Amino acid sequence: MSSRKLKSNNLKHSECLSQVQRILRERFCHQSLHSNLFGVQVQYKHLIELLKRTAIYGESNSVLIIGPRGSGKTMLINHALKELMEVEEVSENVLQVHLNGLLQINDNIALKEITRQLNLENVVGDKVFGSFAENLSFLLEALKKGDRTSSCPVIFILDEFDLFAHHKNQTLLYNLFDISQSAQTPVAVVGLTCRLDILELLEKRVKSRFSHRQIHLMNSFGFPQYLKIFKEQLSLPAEFPDKLFAEKWNENVQCLSEDRSVREVLQKHFNVSKNLRSLHMLLMLALNRVTSSHPFMTAADLMEANQLCSMDSKANIVHGLSVLEICLIIAMKHLNDIYEEEPFNFQMVYNEFQKFVQRKAHSVYNFEKPVVMKAFEHLQQLELIRPMERTSVNAQREYQLMKLLLDSTQIMNALQKYPNCPTDVRQWATSSLSWL
Amino acid sequence: MKSRQTYSWVGRPLLDPKLHHQTYREMSVKVEGCSTELHIHVGQFVLVEGNDDENPYVAKLVELFEDGSEPRSRKRARVQWFIRFCEVPVCKQHLLGRKPAAQEIFWYDYPACDSNINAETIIGPVQVVALAPDEVIPTDLKNEKTLFVKLSWNEKKFSPLSPELFAQLEKLQEGSPRCQKSVEAKTKNIESPSCTTAERAVKRVESRHSSSKSRPAPTHPVTPRARKRLELSSSPRTPNTRISRQTSWASPDSPRRTKRKAALSEITSPSKRSQPDGLQTPSPARKAPEKTGEIQRRSCAKDDKKVSAERHMTLRPRVPALKTTVLSEERRLTPTRGGRRSSMVPSVILIPENIRKREAEEPEAQDEAVSSRHHTSRKSSLLTLNQIKQQLRFLGKSESDSEDEEFLPAAEIPDSSSEEEEDSTSPLPRTPSGASRNLRSSTKLSLQTPSKTPKKTPKPRTPHHATPRIRSRNLAAQEPASMLEEARLRLHVSAVPESLPCREQEFQDIYNFVESKLLDQTGGCMYISGVPGTGKTATVHEVIRGLQQAAQANDVPPFQYIEVNGMKLTEPHQVYVQILQKLTGQKATAIHAAELLAKRFRTQGSSQETTVLLVDELDLLWTQKQDVMYNLFDWPTHKEARLVVLTIANTMDLPERIMMNRVSSRLGLTRMSFQPYTHSQLQQILGSRLKHLRAFEDDAIQFVARKVAALSGDARRCLDICRRATDICEFSCQKPGSPGLVTVAHLLEAVDEMFSSSYITAIKNSSVLEQSFLRAILAEFRRSGLEEATFQQVYSQHVALCRMEGLPYPTMTETMAVCCQLGSCRLLLVEPSRNDLLLRVRLNVSQDAVLYALKEE
């Protein structure tokens, strides 16, 4: 009986855990609107006031939200729009147009997308989308028809705003800003970008029409807040079905946040990047280690996750190379030392390798040249070495100049961990003269 | 809807070997569903479908011929035009020197006008009486369908008819006995012209209903309500006059209008002519009117009967009243009885023509005609715009809409009917150079080269001009409540001030320039330069507004204003398309539009009023060959073009810098440059906007004016800063509840926010590793003495730095991520990361700034 009870307990546990994983993964991967905003209350207030004025008074505005990647720009605007739409008098009155510089790569596509999102194509009846010029004049005409008090305000959200600035003549931006500065349909143009020099990208006429309102998101929090964010991100919500489990889980999270080694891990992570996305990545990795037999996250999980995060990817590649390939890389390292970062070709590397094999090596078999060539090409495919200029068809591959994309410290560290590395190779690596 | 008509030749062709086409003496028009025919002879005066339903074009038929070169529309006619007074350009109407008689037309002595028309646009014969110069036009018109010609008009002046012309016309008049008879059979069924306005309103109601009644689409049951109302409203009158009035009104509102459309579509789209009867298929744009008149359309079959009654009346004025009532009653009850009437009225064939004749028989109709003439003249400035609007309205009016209208209470009907009436009167008068003539000439062109001419303009079936708008909001926008909100509204750049302070001199210069060109009726170019936000476009708009007012007051001749913006074009050559579209409403490809415009501006007498063209952002019209600019500046040099071109760009030396000599030479030396605003001017601008509104401290205004003047002199910036400052003020003052004045502190905050560079704060807020990477870059720069380093070099520095500061060893991957992050913010300028270790790194900020930012901690 007791075993059955245990079993049902276990079952319940695993159910709870899958719930936990679902909730937390959703939180980490989707930018859910339920999470709170951290330290951006002032900016949020500015933005929401601005949007409200457009929606309620029909005042045209333009604003740029600037901040590094992962600083919560999209979250800020989404929060603001959500709140705006909850206001009764606004929800029916506002049209939204979402554009992304990565999707709308030129003005023609952008115009079509705007027309589509404004549901204007119905009005044109049988007229299918015509040329770019027709689209532009069509849309401008449509927007021009409106006025401040009677037309429905349109909120334009331009994600990756800097990419729109690269469009030809910045036609779209000019026209959007021009509408925002003239008595036409009220619009709010909200641009999101991570470039601090965005204003320098704008053409002078476009710049003059932009209202110069900028909202900066700078990740201006310190470590204590980071810790708080960590706790909040990991805690389960109060409406979690199993109250007991949630309590236990949250208690555990509290313990974690006070744990010294956890703090160290977080501090290290914080030092590298204040980006919340990287924190999410860390927590995600740690969360994946939680199973029914290991129901609560521990400091060890986080440390492991951190290790995974901060791993050197190239060193990992080196770990998987064959001894011959390692030998070639060492030969290249020596060449770099001798010739002071001058580029090398296959023949030079092969000669260096031959010297080592003939005089010193005991464990390394003297491979034939084509075999070595093959290994060399494999390294090139792994992008550990890189040709100086494009490979032309008739150039002899042996004499093509190459550069090594590994730092000498990286090579030495990788060799330390390389499994079953022959001692003579290791010795050769430490000193190019050791075989003399 | 109009009934279908079949046009056919009568008699044998007289073959003309020289012209390769066959000429005819007579043409017969047959209305579908009616066995009678109308014969039209060469030499007769005819009405031709035009843009204006109420006043169809009048012409004398010179020749009827079949053109073999054009497969679609073979029946052609050559005519000699007459012109109505309302078709004379408004600016020239005063040349007549007297009030024109209602029925007066003018011999149109203007050879450039295309006289070759599609024979199928002929509506029917009309009576024209030539009068000797000393004769007086009979004012107590007995037969209102008769038109009188006394003078000729050659686009420049009115002159008396030459004796031989007069004799010719006189002879013609004699020769048509039918017309003569109708002149004699003057009816007395005319009401005294002094009917009250109330009566007139009633008449409108009636006319509206009857208009729909006359449409020949006999399927639906008649809605008796509207009909009844009619009867009630007209009770004091004798039934027969009422009917005649009704029927007379049938024409102007609906059938003719639809017919005109048909004509247009016929003219413009050759594909349609392939139909054997040469008539239009219903176009979507026509749906709305069709519906409006739904009630009575079914009764259209009786139309002819009406006509017959009418005709009897004309001949025997003493028709017993009872009979007509019965007739109308009958009509109501038996909606479809098309077969009978032909026996009653053998001479009547073409419905519209008859209707038109009857229309002329009525003083009210005359009244209306006069008023509509007034409409036309008033609207002639709007020309194409109206046509567009009209189409839009048809399009926009949903079906339910128009159906509703039928059941509107009587009181509301006059409104809607007057609106409709406006519709029907608004279209283009037949100005020889306007779109209509163009159209005609394009038809002519199409005769020779059918595939070439893009006859797109007024094609009603595809709503090219249907420009939709953003849907209107459900809830009205709130009005500003507090003083700060009011100030914010006034400070918005879009708010149009009553006057433009500080630009009086420039305004006067531009005004004088344009005005002089208008008065001299010549053309010219002007180049206006100035940095952004100095009020160039606003000033020109102000000038145009002023001139338009002056034109209304007849101080300057009327002109047409067109605006194009280089930034709103996708491609420089699109400017032709836009100009052409705004000028005539035509749509064409860029190349073709250029040809049409060149033709328009370069040929003699093509335009009767001056065109003022504003080209904003001129520098974007630059092309390799500079043909766009060349054309823009070349057209005004032609005397006939009467084109004034105002160009706006930012740089003062644009003509010297980017234009070829032959382009800049044509641009001329009329230049004007707008200087950036000085601080006192900015202060004045702010003051004028905030008149009587104490929202800002005086010091604050002065502060912002000085600040902006020192930075750029851009008025937009100045207004934006102030607007932001009101935000800040409102935000900070919210706690006490009474928003105070905007002070210098608020403005300072706003200026800081807008202009301070964010690099320093960005560096300060970056992570530890990012900061140490920046330090490593500085160290590497110092070591190498260069301003650029590869990632590998910086990395080694970075590792060393981290070791010194006791930070954990940074792996290559982490460091690369840091570098890319800084690069995406543009604190660093980096190459694409596929270069990996070899990617080159530069600072985008000065080294001092980085040092300063890093030291602060």
Task: Quote the Cα angle for B55-B106-B153, to 5°.
Answer: 125
Alpha helices in A259-390 (DSSP H): 260-272, 276-287, 299-309, 313-319, 323-339, 346-359, 369-381
Cβ B475–A197 below 8 Å, yes or no? no
Residue B644 backbone dihedrals phi, psi, to 5 degrees = -110, 120
Contacts of A125 in chain B (CB under 8 A): 284, 395, 463, 466
* pLDDT of B197 above 50: no
Query: Is B762 within 8 Å of A46 when comparing Cβ atoms?
Result: no
Residues of chain B in contact with residue A269, where contact means CB-CB under 8 angstroms, are: none
Distance CA B744, CA B696 (A): 9
Gap from A33 CA to chain B (nearest CA, Å): 25
Phi, psi (rounded to 5 degrees) for B69: -75, -20
**What pLDDT score does B431 carry?**
37
| Torsion angles phi and psi, residue A188, rounded to 5 | -120, 120
- Selection from A164, A155, A156 nearest residue A101 by Cα: A164
Least confident of A90-104, B9-23, B119-133, B539-553: B9-23
pLDDT for residue B154: 72
Q: Of chain A residues 362-421, which have a CB less than 8 A from chain B?
A: 383, 386, 403, 405-407, 409-410
Listed residue (A298, A186, A227, A250) closest to A38, CA to CA: A227
Q: How far apart are CA A315 and CA B44, in angstroms?
A: 101
Terminus-to-terminus CA distance in chain B, angstroms?
85
B415: which 2 tokens?
Answer: 């409104």
A residues 41-70 closer than 8 Å to B (CB): 45-46, 49-50, 53, 56-60, 66, 68-69
How many whole angstroms separate alpha carbon A73 and alpha carbon B416?
52
Chain A residues within an 8 Å CB radius of B463: 124-125, 127
A107 CB near a chain B CB, below 8 Å?
yes
What is the mean predicted confidence (pLDDT) over B261-289? 42
pLDDT at A426 over 50: yes
Report, as an integer, the average pLDDT of B212-234. Answer: 41
Which tokens hold the place of A182?
């003239």
Question: Using an 8 Å Cβ cutoff, are B370 and B260 in contact?
Answer: no
Contact state of A125 with B466 under an 8 Å Cβ cutoff: yes
Please determine, for residue B469, whether its predicted confidence score (pLDDT) is greater than 70. Answer: no
CB nearest B727 (choices: A49, A118, A216): A49
Residue with tokens 């708080």, as numbered in its chain: A228
Partner-chain contact A49 B769, CB within 8 Å: no
Q: Nearest 10 degrees: CA dihedral of A373, A375, A378, A383?
A: -90
| List of chain A residues whose C-beta atoms are within 8 Å of the C-beta of residue B564 | none
Sequence-distant (≥ 6) Cβ neighbours of residue B288 within 8 angstroms = B393, B394, B395, B397, B399, B401, B402
Report ipTM (2 d.p.). 0.91
Nearest to B714 among A53, A125, A208 (CB): A208
Q: Report CB contact under 8 Å: A149, B765.
A: no
- Extract the tokens encoding A429: 């690596």
| CA distance, residue B435 to nearest chain A CA (Å) | 21
CB pairs under 8 A between A and B: 233
Which member of A66, A141, A407 has the closest CB to residue B812?
A407
Contacts of A219 in chain B (CB under 8 A): 765-766
For residue A170, what pLDDT is reported? 92
Q: Are B51 and B430 in contact (CB under 8 A)?
A: yes
pLDDT for the residue B51: 64
What residue has token string 């028809």? A145
Residues A134 and B607: their CA atoms lie apart, in Å, by 27
User: Per residue in B351-363, is it b (16+ CB within 10 Å) or e — as a string?
Assistant: bbbbbbbbbbbbb
CA distance B718 to B709: 9
CA atoms within 13 A on the CB side of A85: 10
Q: Least CA distance to B463: which residue of chain A?
A: A124
- Residue A19: closest CA among A215, A292, A419, A202: A292
Phi, psi of B712 (to 5 degrees): -145, -25
What's the distance, CA B107 to chain centroid?
A: 30
Cβ distance A271 to B807 less than 8 Å, yes or no, reads: yes
Q: Which two tokens stand for residue A428?
A: 């050769």
State chain B's mean pLDDT as an integer. 68
pLDDT band at B259, cuts 50/70/90?
A: very low
| pLDDT at B452 > cutoff 50 | no
Distance CA(A58)–CA(B137), nearest Å, equals 59
User: What are A8-19's pLDDT values in tens digits?
Assistant: 565 677 888 888
Measure Cα distances from B332 to B223, B289, B402, B811 in Å: 9, 21, 22, 96
Of A133, A185, A270, the CB nearest to B470: A185
Q: How confident is the model at residue B284 (pLDDT cuts 50, 70, 90)?
A: very low
Written as one string, the DSSP assignment of A89-144 is HHHTT-EEEEEETTT--SHHHHHHHHHHHTT-TTTTTTPPP--HHHHHHHHHHHHH
> How close A347 comes to chain B (CA, Å)?
22
Residues of B in contact with A407 (CB under 8 A): 792, 795-796, 812, 837
Q: Do B821 and A275 touch (CB under 8 A)?
A: yes
Phi/psi of residue A108, nearest 5 degrees:
-65, -50
Per-residue burial over B618-652, b if 16 or more Cβ lie within 10 Å, else e, is: bbbbbeeebebbbbbbbbbbbebbbbbbbbbbbeb
Whether residue B561 has pLDDT greater than 90: yes
Contact B824 A195 (CB under 8 A): yes
Question: H or E segment at B360?
Answer: helix B351-360
Q: Which one has a higher pLDDT value, A150 or B856?
A: A150
Minimal Cα–Cα distance from B818 to chain A, Å? Answer: 7
Helix residue ranges per DSSP H, B533-602: 536-552, 574-584, 590-602
Contacts of B759 in chain A (CB under 8 A): 196
Quote the pLDDT of residue B514. Answer: 92
Helix (H) / strand (E) element for B818: namely: helix B812-825
CA distance B705 to B619: 30
Instruction: Say how far apart CA B805 and CA B771 lie, in whole Å.
Output: 12
Q: Which two tokens stand for residue B683?
A: 């202060």
Chain B CB contacts of A137 under 8 Å are 568, 578
Partner-chain contact B811 A312, CB within 8 Å: yes
3-state secondary structure of A310: coil
**Which residues of chain B does A171 touch, with a Cβ-Cβ cutoff of 8 Å?**
567-568, 570
- Using a CB-CB distance cutoff of 8 angstroms, which residues of chain A are in contact with residue B796? 407, 409
Q: A150 or B591: which carries more pLDDT confidence? A: B591
User: How confident is the model over B666-684, as a mean pLDDT?
Assistant: 89
Q: Of B413 and A381, which is predicted with more confidence?
A: A381
Identify which of B469, B477, B813 has the shortest CB distance to residue A57.
B477
Q: What average pLDDT score do residues A311-329 get?
A: 89
Mind listing the pLDDT tens digit for each residue in B839-849? 899 999 999 99
| Per-residue pLDDT tens over the stretch B712-721 | 889 999 999 9
What pLDDT is attached to residue B543? 93
Chain B residues with CB under 8 Å of A311 CB are 811, 813
CB < 8 Å to B753, chain A? 213-214
For residues B594 and B630, the answer to whether their CB atoms sit within 8 Å is no
Q: Which of A303, A312, A329, A385 to mutate to test the interface with B (most CBs of B within 10 A)?
A: A312
**Nearest-CB residue to A212 (from B476, B532, B717):** B717
Where helices occur in B503-566 by DSSP H, the ranges are 504-520, 536-552
Cβ of B20: how many Cβ atoms within 10 Å?
10
Query: Which tens digit of pLDDT belongs to each residue from B31-86?
Result: 665 556 677 777 777 777 766 666 777 777 777 777 655 555 567 777 777 777 77
Question: Residue A290's pLDDT band (boundaries 50, 70, 90)?
Answer: confident
Using pLDDT thresholds of 50, 70 and 90, give the confidence band for residue A246: confident
Residues 210-269 of A with CB under 8 A from B: 211-214, 216, 218-220, 268
Per-residue DSSP letter, B567: G
Which DSSP letter does residue A35 get?
S
Q: Are B310 and B355 in contact (CB under 8 A)?
A: no
Pairwise CA distance, residues B497 & B823, whole Å: 45
Q: What is the share, in percent, of chain B residues with pLDDT greater than 90?
A: 17
State the Cα–Cα distance between residues B826 and B830, nearest whole angstrom: 8
Give me the helices (H) in B671-767, please. 679-689, 698-711, 715-732, 744-755, 759-764
Distance (Å, whole) CA B480 – CA B492: 13
C-beta neighbour count of A381 within 10 angstroms: 8
**Locate tokens 């307990």: which residue?**
A9
- The chain-wide mean pLDDT, for chain A, equals 85
Which one has a higher pLDDT value, A140 or B170? Answer: A140
pLDDT at A325: 92
**Contact flag A151-B470 (C-beta cutoff 8 Å):** yes
Element (H, E) at B127: strand B127-130
* pLDDT tens digits, one per residue of A30-52: 766 666 777 788 899 999 989 98
**Residue percentage of chain A with pLDDT more than 90:** 29
Average of per-residue pLDDT across B736-751: 79
**Interface-testing mutation among A57, A170, A177, with chain B (most B C-beta atoms within 10 A):** A57
Q: Identify the pLDDT of residue A366.
A: 81
Would you tell me how many other CB atoms lie within 10 Å of the CB of residue A228?
13
Confidence of residue B410 (pLDDT cuts 50, 70, 90): very low
Mutate to test the interface with B, among A212, A306, A336, A409 (most CBs of B within 10 A): A212
Q: Residues 83..102 of A with a Cβ closer than 8 Å to B: which? A: 89, 92-93, 95
* Disruptive mutation site among B398, B568, B570 for chain A (greatest number of A CBs within 10 Å): B570
Per-residue pLDDT tens digits for A340-383: 888 898 999 999 888 888 876 677 778 889 999 999 999 999 98
Cβ pair B466:A123 closer than 8 A: yes
Averaged pLDDT, A116-139 = 71
* CA pair distance B763, B198, nearest whole angstrom: 80
Distance CA B822, CA B820 (A): 5
| DSSP string for residues in A190-248 | EEEE--TTHHHHS-HHHHHHS--EEEE------HHHHHHHHHHHHSPPTT-S-HHHHHH
- What's the rounded mean pLDDT across residues A205-229? 90
Cβ-defined contact of B731 to A95 (cutoff 8 Å)? no
| Partner-chain contact B477 A409, CB within 8 Å | no
Q: Which positions in chain B touch A268 (Cβ < 8 Å)?
A: 808
Question: Which residues does chain A have within 8 Å of residue B824's beta carbon, measured at their own beta carbons?
Answer: 68-69, 194-195
Q: What is the mean pLDDT of residues A322-345?
A: 89
A395 against B70, higher pLDDT: A395
- The predicted structure's pLDDT at residue A194: 92
Measured in degrees and rounded to the nearest 5, phi and psi for residue B535 equal: 85, 25
**How far is the C-alpha of B720 from the C-alpha of B701, rounded, in Å?**
13
Task: Report the distance separating Cα B597 and Cα B13, nearest Å.
Answer: 40
Q: Which of B469, B731, B811 is facing A146, going by the closest CB pair?
A: B469
Question: Which of the pair, A366 or B598, is modelled with greater confidence?
Answer: B598
Query: A33, A79 in Cβ contact below 8 A?
Result: yes
Q: Which residue of A has its CA nearest to B723?
A: A211
